[in-house]
Amino acid sequence: MTDTTTRVALVTGGSGGIGRAVVERLARDGIAVGVHYAGNKARADETVAAVTAVGGRAITVGGDVADEHAMAEAFDAVEREFGGIDVVVNTAGIMLLSPIATLDLDDLDRMHRTNIRGTFVVSQQAARRVRAGGAIINFSTSVTRLQFPAYGAYTASKAAVEGMTLILARELRGKDITVNAVAPGPTATPLFLDGKDQAAIDNLAKTAPLERLGTPDDIAEAVAFLAGPARWINGQVLFANGGVA
C-alpha cells in the first residue's frame, strides 16, 4: 500500500554535488525522494543507498531533463512509488565557460537545452502535478549579479530560469504552491572547481564576507527552507552566496 501522508520530492541532478546534498537534506526531514540522474545510474544508486541506510526512503529515476516524455515517466515513477509529489527541486544543469567572442555555439546550444529547456520541461510537469502545500525550486546562479567574465552564455541560461520561475509563481495563483529559485554563489563542487587553479579558488573564497566558498550543504539548507517552512516566500530568487552579492 502507498503512504499518501508522506511528503515526496523529486530532485533532478540528484546523484552528485549540490543535488546529492539536497537529496540527503530533504530525506533528513522525512521526505521520500526520487533521485534523478541523466547518465550515471551508479552514482544515483549510491545516493539512494546512503538515504536508505539511515532509514530514509528513496528511488532512482532516469532521463534527459529536456525530454518531456522521459520526464513525464520520471514523475510517473515517483508518483507510483510514493503516492504523489509535493516538492520538485531542479538542480540539473551544465556549465561551459568561454568568453562570448570565442564560445563554440554548440556549447551554447547544449547549455540552453539542459538549463533552459530542461528547467522548463521539469517546471511544466511540476506545475501540473505538485500537490497543494508543495514547492517548486529551480536553480539560478549568483553570477547573474556578479558578472564574472567567461560566464556569459551560462549566465544567460540562468537568467532565463529566473524569468520563468517568477512567472510560474504568478501562474499558480490559488493552488497553494510556491515557486522560487536558489542562486548559489561560488560553491565547492566539481562543476565549479573544474579547471581552476588554487590561486583562483583562494581569490573566489575571499570574495564573500565569510571568507570561504560555499558548500553543497549550505545550498541544501536553503532548499530545505524553501521546501518546508518558507510558505510565505514565493516568486523570489534566494541568493545563497555568503554575502558576495
R_g (Cα) of the chain, nearest Å: 17
3-state secondary structure 186-223: CECCHHHHCCCCHHHHHHHHCCCCCCCCECHHHHHHHH
Neighbouring residues of 198: CB distance < 8 A, sequence distance ≥ 6:
none
Q: What's the grid cell of residue 162? A: 529566473
Q: Which residues pair with 74 in a beta bridge?
A: none
Q: Is 65:38 a contact under the CB 8 Å cutoff?
A: yes
Q: DSSP for 98-134, please give it.
A: --GGG--HHHHHHHIIIIIIHHHHHHHHHHHHPPTT-
Which residues form the catalytic set?
Answer: 154
